[in-house]
A = this chain, B = another copy of it.
Amino acid sequence: MSYPVSARAGIVVTGTEVLTGRVQDRNGPWLADRLLELGVELAHITICGDRPSDIEAQLRFLAGEGVDLIVTSGGLGPTADDVTVATVAEFSGRELILDDALEATIADILRRLMGRSGVGEVDFDAVLAANRKQAMVPQGAEILSPVGTAPGVVVPGTPTIVVLPGPPRELQPMWDKAIRTDGVQQAIAGRTEYRQATIRMFGLPESGLAETLRDGEQSIADFDRLEITTCLRRGELEIVTRYEPDAAPVYDALLALLQTRHGREIFSTDGALVDDQVAELLAGRTIATAESCTAGLVAARLTDRPGSSAYVAGGVVSYSNEAKSALLGVDPRLIAEHGAVSEPVAEAMAMGALRRFEADTAISTTGIAGPGGGSAEKPVGTVCFSVQLADGRSTTTTLVLPGNRSDVRERSTTVAMHLLRRLLSTPAGVGHA
């Protein structure tokens, strides 16, 4: 693997709740990905609490290491322990000044938020005073408009410092604006342009992929011009490859090798998620769910995206045996004979959902998420799935999934998505399994 000369960056994550592990940092990894995509090399991530001297020490460290860009996250709230902007201003030798236009913007946002919250009576002027602090910016900084109530700032210099809020849903939308600022563009001028491509697989063990990659190293010329990282997550394998544009033929050779060896397991070569694919396959259809061990997670995942009400009718969480019979019409004798976790019951649940919701597509899950309830015959992690279509196509299967209660529930949800994808993309008349 080669490391081309490039722009270098460091990330400073602030927040005592992150330093002490009470909140898991999601910004460091997210920013690391964005920097990689840009072709900027990430050298260090540093995490500290809300103490100005510690934040300042980390800025000094990174500047001393010669990075071109520092990105900070957190510490932009209205409370006294939020000190990042003031600390960055002092570090850059810039005065903090009140930005009147920004103050007015924040006041507008707060008025709107408070007007509709109905959470309780608070003196609006006191709130404004607390939030005035958020309108103080380092002189000469570029302002990134707030997504929540906290604005970000870009302080140009050597290094340029991008100051972003802590909540990921505020930080992420601000990033695109941040990289378009002059300050950041100057800092990352020395970067190398990379292409990045993502291949997704389902159902292949990581060791199988490793073997193919070792073979590729032998059989594909210039294989070392590809920077390949693989990641296994909930049964899906994600293969991300970065390469300089002129190494595109090498990437094409890799893709061809993977398709020859693992064509059945590859479900995406354009970055699309299984959720995107299932949403597309469900257009014009109506789906209902019947969940036991996943208890709503499949319905929640199907409705995660805007517009899903066009094809999701609803679902039943039938946690108890009584609910399976009363709401889905599962024959109690079927449960008595085969047990609640069995393929006949999974089929009956899915068929009940088809009927009760007048849907044309239904999926069911019934399993043992643990930690209790397992047996020698049906250990913890045993989950039965059934997909039923109104045209008679169907698929029913049983898997034993690894991990703890939460792993089994999440993994089952992902398996359900893939079973839907496979059956819905099979031509009619072929799919009865």
Contacts and interface: CB of A to CB of B under 8 A. Distances in A.
B372 A306 contact: yes
Residues of A in contact with B, size category: 35 or more
A32 B44 contact: no
26 contacts: A16-B229, A16-B240, A17-B231, A20-B29, A20-B32, A21-B28, A23-B231, A43-B49, A44-B47, A44-B58, A46-B47, A77-B206, A79-B209, A80-B210, A81-B230, A116-B400, A122-B208, A296-B296, A300-B300, A303-B317, A306-B372, A309-B319, A314-B323, A315-B319, A322-B358, A323-B357
A203 interface: yes
Interface stretch (A123-131, A138-146, A252-260): A123-131
B203 A79 contact: no
A384 interface: no
A344 interface: no
A204 interface: yes
Given A77-B206, A207-B126, A54 B47 contact: no
Copies of this chain present in the complex amount to: 2
A315 B296 contact: yes
Contacts of A299: 295-296, 317, 319
Contact of A320 (B32, B265, B314): B314
Contacts of A93: none
Contact of A315 (B206, B207, B316, B326): B316
Nearest to A126: B211
Interface in A107-132: 113-114, 116-120, 122, 126-127, 130-131
Given A22-B231, A47-B44, A323-B357, A314 B303 contact: no
Contacts of A358: 322, 326
Given A79-B213, A303-B319, A322-B357, 7 more contacts: A19-B32, A20-B33, A122-B207, A289-B296, A296-B317, A306-B405, A327-B356
A342 interface: no
Nearest to A79: B210
